Amino acid sequence: MITSLLIAGAAGCASALMFASIISGALISLVLFYLAPLPLMVAAMGWGPTSAALGGLVAGLGLGSIFGIPYCAAFVLTVALPAWWLGHLALLGRPLPAGAPNTATPNAPQPIEWYPLGRILIWVAAFAALTREGIVSNRLARLRDTLILPRGGTLCALASVFLVVSLIHAIETGKFVASWTDYRDAIAMLAISSHSDPALGDPRFVSAARISPALAPLSWFSTIPYLSIILSNFSPNRLVVDPAGNYFWLSCGTATRNKNAVLVVPAQTRELVRAYSCLHR
């Protein structure tokens, strides 16, 4: 509880300072102003929306006591409220309904369906319209024009587009990195396991279909066997094979010559590659 309160206070202070920096008139302050919701969003997604709400409240009260009520209201409506609500939406998730594809391995966690990214972007656009088109009161609109339109709307529009695109890329990159980490760990676990699928042509082979279907889009069937070798430190107990694979990098002759050569890769590993290559040639 204390940690959450400290995080909320720190996020609120950082957000308030970034929001108030626009008063300096420096060009960099415009960037800081547009990034003011970021500390509250981080608090929302890391420690829950309540932390963002508390941080926004602290920041709003601080700005109101120093600069007056209009600044407090502008901060709450254009920074704190969007940060809290978008953080709340990003954490919304529910287990997939019964009958949906689950993992193929036992005791695997149930897949989660997260709030659609497209709808989050619609909310981002709605909040942008709220601050850009003056849906708030005229007094706050005039305050907005004073704060964020010192040199016309072009620069602000470009900064808004850059921020939204950067946010999309950050979210998608984070999702990819998390999924790739899970996929890599799943391949490595199969490679060092004792599972066996002799139907693939050799009892030393294990099927990549044992991996969760949710990770299937990350697979590239022709490289799975070699990836399993690398992830097992070149000493796999099983060669992970995609049963639907129809392209093979090495010919039987090349794999046989490599197996008989004196190489750094262990002979057992080279024998697995030879068996895999010759089986389909």
143 part of a folded domain: yes
Same domain, yes or no, for 215 and 261? yes
Same domain, yes or no, for 140 and 17? yes
209 vs 158, higher pLDDT: 209
Print burial letters for 238-273: b (CB count within 10 Å at least 16), e (below 16): bbbbbeebeebebebeebbebbeeeeeeeeebbbbb
206 part of a folded domain: yes
171 part of a folded domain: no
- Intra-chain end-to-end CA distance of the chain, in Å: 63
**Helix axes of 27-34 and 153-191: crossing angle, nearest 10 degrees:** 50
Range of the domain at 218: 185-279
44 part of a folded domain: yes
Same domain, yes or no, for 123 and 9? yes
Amino acid occupying residue 158: L
Same domain, yes or no, for 65 and 142? yes
Where helices occur in 149-266 by DSSP H, the ranges are 153-191, 224-231, 252-260
Amino acid occupying residue 192: I
Same domain, yes or no, for 31 and 129? yes
Q: What is the distance of C-alpha 137 from the center of its chain? A: 36
165 part of a folded domain: no
Helix (H) or strand (E) holding 134: none
Same domain, yes or no, for 234 and 133? no
Same domain, yes or no, for 139 and 71? yes
The pLDDT assigned to 98 comes to: 56
pLDDT > 70? residue 136: no
158 part of a folded domain: no
Same domain, yes or no, for 10 and 137? yes
CA angle 180, 184, 188 (to 5 degrees): 170
The pLDDT assigned to 206 comes to: 92
Number of domains in the chain: 2
Of the listed ranges 39-48, 141-150, 202-211, 260-269, the least confidently predicted one is 141-150
Same domain, yes or no, for 37 and 132? yes
Of the listed ranges 70-84, 85-99, 156-170, 175-189, the least confidently predicted one is 156-170
Residues 261, 262, 265, 270, Cα dihedral to 10°: 30
162 part of a folded domain: no
pLDDT band at 157 (very low <50, low <70, confident <90, very high): low
Digit-coded pLDDT (tens) for 5-60: 888 888 889 888 888 887 777 777 778 888 888 889 888 888 888 888 999 999 88
257 part of a folded domain: yes
